[in-house]
Amino acid sequence: MGVTQDQEIGSSVWTVPNVISFVRLAMVPVFAVLIVEHHDVWALAVLAFSGFTDWLDGVLARRLNQVSRLGQMLDPAADRLFIFVTLVGLAWRDVVPLWLVVVIVARDLMMAALLPLLARRGYGPLEVSIVGKAGTFALLYAFPLLLLAEASGAVGTVAHVAGWAFTWWGVGLYWLAGLLYVRQARSLLSEPRVSPENA
């Protein structure tokens, strides 16, 4: 969720946006069962719900002035978990190739490796960029389309083309955002430490 400079970041847990993020997290195992059991219509509905609430929690956080540190961690965590579970489920169904899972998971592992390095220097998780958000949105649109592509006829054909278009855009933006995060992290980590007595 984006934060403008004049917005205060709070420490509240039970805000409306955070509750929405908790609901999204709770839907992850539900989606996993639906996709494995071939309940594609309900799985599509859950994906659509996840995409809508991903947009909604950010809007409400800004409009209700309920941006919180927990929300800044929950929102991308829910996105990445949904992407991972969806990818594994679709790969299990042979809807997407295994290499796509590897490419996206490798980016997230690269990001995860930065966290302890930043934490040792007193930095928290880096703020989600618009590029990363765009990549996530593209992937969250791609997956239901790729699932819909399993349908026969014109609907399946159109969904296949659109789904892979979103997939390629999503992967490109996802990795571009990751590389930008790495550059930002290197910049922060290269700054000299300031000892308490010199602060």
**Has residue 11 got a pLDDT over 70?**
no
Q: What angle do CA 8, 11, 15 make, to 5 degrees?
A: 90
Residue with tokens 């805000």: 15
Half-sphere exposure of 192 (CA within 13 A, CB side): 5
Two structure tokens written together for 60: 């409400």
pTM: 0.75
Residue with tokens 């590029």: 131
Q: How far is the CA of 6 from the CAs of 57, 67, 76, in angstroms?
A: 19, 11, 22
Which residues lie closer than 8 Å to 146 by C-beta, 6 or more apart?
A: 90, 95, 96, 159, 160, 163, 164, 167
Residue 9: predicted pLDDT: 53
What's the average model confidence in pLDDT over 89-103? 91
Two structure tokens written together for 52: 């809508």
Return the DSSP state at 7. S
Q: How many CB atoms lie within 10 A of CB 140?
A: 21
Residue 71: predicted pLDDT: 64
Q: What single letter denotes the amino acid at residue 34?
A: L
The CA distance from 158 to 153, in Å, is: 9
Two structure tokens written together for 68: 């919180």
Q: Is residue 93 within 8 Å of residue 35, measured between CB atoms?
A: yes
* pLDDT tens profile 38-90: 888 888 888 888 878 877 777 777 787 766 676 667 777 787 888 888 889 88
Two structure tokens written together for 63: 């409009």
Would you call 10 helix, strand, or coil by DSSP? strand
Residue 4: predicted pLDDT: 42
Of all residues in the chain, what percent carry a pLDDT higher than 90? 22
